[in-house]
């Protein structure tokens, strides 16, 4: 990919890398007009938001450390985070020379990868999200064992439960 050195080619490739890392059932639901689709899925919104946050942090660190200008940092950070976060493996720049924080973020996305039901490998984002949510719930239970908690289920609505 670095051979072509074209922003537009990279944007097209990043778009399809992201689409390939999203659950194919949700993509099919989007195309067919199903109510469970990419736009209504909380896990897709969280996945894209986390990917966007990683891109911004990596770009800011590269700019702050004087590696590239802001737009060049954003370009390289976007492509590298999306490529490694979807287990595609394309590269446009030599990342081992980057600051350690950016390498740690990229390694996190390499381990986490895409969503369940996609072409990407790795742990899968849905499992990482489920682990985080269950850990948060367990910490609440330990801190407030008699608490009453309210949560929202997309299909059913608001619920209360008492541990």
pLDDT in tens, 56-112: 999 999 999 999 999 999 999 999 999 999 998 898 999 999 999 999 999 999 998
Task: Find the mean pLDDT for residues 5-23.
Answer: 93
Q: What angle do CA 107, 43, 129 make, to 5 degrees?
A: 50
57-92 burial string, b = 16+ CB within 10 Å, else e? ebbbbbbeeebbeeeebbbbbbbbbbbbbbbbebeb
Mean pLDDT value across the chain: 88
Residue carrying the six token digits 């999200």: 129
pLDDT of residue 58: 97
Tokens 């390499």 map to which residue?
Answer: 110
Q: What is the mean pLDDT of residues 37-41?
A: 90
SS3 per-residue string spanning 31-81: HHCCCCCCCCCHHHHHHHHHHHHHHHHHHHHHHHCCCCCHHHHHHHHHHHH
pLDDT, residue 160, reads: 56
Query: What three-state secondary structure class fits 153?
Result: strand
pLDDT > 90? residue 114: no
Q: Check pLDDT > 80 for residue 13.
A: yes
- Per residue in 20-34, pLDDT (tens digit) is 999 999 999 999 998
């Amino acid at each position: 990919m670095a051979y072509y050195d074209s922003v537009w080619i990279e944007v097209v490739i990043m778009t399809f890398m992201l689409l390939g890392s999203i659950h194919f059932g949700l993509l099919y639901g989007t195309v067919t007009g199903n109510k469970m689709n990419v736009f209504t899925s909380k896990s897709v919104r969280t996945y894209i938001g986390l990917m966007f946050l990683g891109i911004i942090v990596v770009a800011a660190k590269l700019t702050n450390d004087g590696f590239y200008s802001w737009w060049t940092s954003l370009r390289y950070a976007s492509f590298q985070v999306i490529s490694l976060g979807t287990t595609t493996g394309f590269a446009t720049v030599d990342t081992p020379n980057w600051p350690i924080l950016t390498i740690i973020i990229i390694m996190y996305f390499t381990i986490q990868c895409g969503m369940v039901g996609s072409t990407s490998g790795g742990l899968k984002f849905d499992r990482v999200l489920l682990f985080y949510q269950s850990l948060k719930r367990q910490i609440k239970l330990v801190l407030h064992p008699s608490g009453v908690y309210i949560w929202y289920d997309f299909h059913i609505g608001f619920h209360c439960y008492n541990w």
